[in-house]
Amino acid sequence: MERREIEQLVRTHMEQKLEAEGKREYIIAANWKMNMSAKETRAFLKELSDTNIPEYLNIILFPPFPYLPAAQKMLRYEAVTYGAQDVAEKDKGAYTGEVSAAMLADCGCSYTLIGHSERRAYYGETSDIVARKASKALEYGIVPVICIGETLEERRSGAYKEVLKGQVDAAAKVCQEKLAQCIIAYEPVWAIGTGVIPTTKEIEETHRYIHDVLASYDKHAGAKFRILYGGSVNENNVRDIAPVPFVDGFLIGGASLKVESFKNIINLLSLDGCL
């Protein structure tokens, strides 16, 4: 049995156990983007692997491609999982620089980010491309974390709901009944790395809207859809945002690059009454 298959069995068991206890799984995902060295990665993973993590927290790391083997070697699958920051929409062929879902599976990846705002903005990824990538990941048993979000102009003009729905619609059209297996990460583009945080009221309203859109495709799976919040998440605001309805976890950028701050976030979310 492959590592990611074991991870999936462990997480399924934990989800069932938590559901029986009236609790929920909470996801803390770290997107390192194009940062870290091999030495820094090994030091981070070693310290994190020694951290006591409550069973209801699902910790997912997204290191750069070259450091996936280190994650595969050093992480305990029952406590911390990992994935890639992107995946190709093709299986194989003359696509220089691309990494296929089969290759990620060989590296033991259980997850992959797809459609991050930086990929959409800098590399021209459309929602249709994102949807095809998500479908390809699912073919190989890899959970896609589909990133969606609006610009400041779209937020101010009131067009953000239409934008978000269009991004989710594209994934739903391609993934169909497997959409509930995906994770959605809402990242307001105007809040990523800026230090500007939407109010908890704005976050709740937007996450509720995204949930309703997802549930409209499959009302039976409505409660199973998972929606993460991302956008300048750090030690100072996680406890305020964590209890917000329809927020099932975080996708963290800059605050996940230092193991001390990332561990502090884990510890804050481990405190009684936080979630």
How far is residue 190 from each of residues 24, 85, 117, 236, 265, measured CA to CA in Å?
29, 20, 10, 19, 22
The catalytic residue among 89, 116, 118, 211 is 116
Structure tokens at 207: 């996450």
Q: 148 and 115 in contact (C-beta within 8 Å)? A: yes
At 258, is the secondary structure helix, strand, or coil? coil
CA–CA gap between residue 235 and residue 249 (Å, rounded): 14
How far is residue 259 from each of residues 17, 42, 45, 47, 149, measured CA to CA in Å?
29, 11, 8, 7, 27
Q: 149 and 114 in contact (C-beta within 8 Å)? A: no
Structure tokens at 49: 């692997």
CA–CA gap between residue 140 and residue 106 (Å, rounded): 10
**Active-site residue 116, yes or no?**
yes
CA–CA gap between residue 8 and residue 140 (Å, rounded): 13
The catalytic residue among 7, 150, 187, 207 is 187
| Residue 61, strand partner residues | 30, 82
**Active-site residue 7, yes or no?**
no
Active site residues: 116, 187
